Amino acid sequence: MKIGYRTVGFGDRPIEDILRAIAEAGYDSVELCLETPDLNPLKLTVERVGELKALLDELGLSLCAISYHGVADQLEERRRRTYAAIELLPAFGASVYVVASRREEPARLHAQWDEAVQLYCELADLLAGKGCQLAVEPQPGLVIRNTDDLIKVLRACDRPNLVANLDIAHAKVTGDDLNWAVYQLGQRLGHVHIADVSGGVHEHLVPGQGEIDFGEVREVLEGIDYQGAIVLDMPAGSGDPANVCREALAAFRQVWND
């Protein structure tokens, strides 16, 4: 099992510094989050991507996914970044592209749902030609907020390369039944984010600092023979990011193996 770290946890630091810190902390893999200024897909070039790939190789880090949520971005900016990122995926050699839906607007939630399904069908078709999976991540407060929503999307947009990104912390906040969620997703579970939470608050914590039973998480994932990466998802601004990165891995290994 490869254990990765999301670069978003380092905020606006230079990407080279971020990758070195992740490697030094002992991770096997990395998820590149395109919200980072250094990774803005509208400014990245194929040559720059090649430099980053060479650095990953030098550091012994595999690339488990590219992600761009862009929830805080304006709609047109988000659209442009999404399509620009897709064009760069072959240069990155990425096999998984993680996305999230928009913030829900109760007055037009039905329309937002239809828009999300249409968009994911289009993106999945584009990514199929590049040999890449589209992984949709539910998140509290967004149009696709929980696993039940995600399963409905997978059924509405029946594309073999459309898969699920299950964020264990989000599932806890939205009250998902973990066993039900994982077994319903089955082989459509393409990517997993890990963090802890407490008191139903959507605030990612280091594993072991909250209420999640990670022994149960491990058993459930092993029950479907999950072979993808496990990616720790710590927020920016919760302390020195390099320290949080190291602490999260040590804590995860302890709770995962207990």
Give the chain's domains with CATH numbers.
3-257 (3.20.20.150)
pLDDT in tens, 8-53: 999 999 999 999 999 999 999 999 999 988 999 999 999 999 999 9
Quick one: pLDDT at residue 251? 96
Given a cut of 90, is residue 178 above it in pLDDT? no
Residue 149: CA count within 13 A, CB half-sphere: 27
| pLDDT confidence of residue 135 | 97
Whether pLDDT at 74 is above 90: no
**If you search the block for the tokens 């999945």, which residue do you land on?**
124
Residues 251 and 216: beta-carbon distance below 8 Å: no
CA-closest candidate to residue 59, choices 96, 15, 9, 10:
15
Assess contact for 135 and 164: CB atoms under 8 A.
yes
Mean pLDDT of 147-158: 93
Mind spelling out the 3-state secondary structure of 142-158? Answer: ECCCCHHHHHHHHHHCC
pLDDT for res 194: 97
pTM: 0.95
What's the confidence (pLDDT) of residue 110? 93
As given in the structure block, the two tokens for residue 245 are: 């990165």
What radius of gyration do the chain's Cα atoms show?
Answer: 17
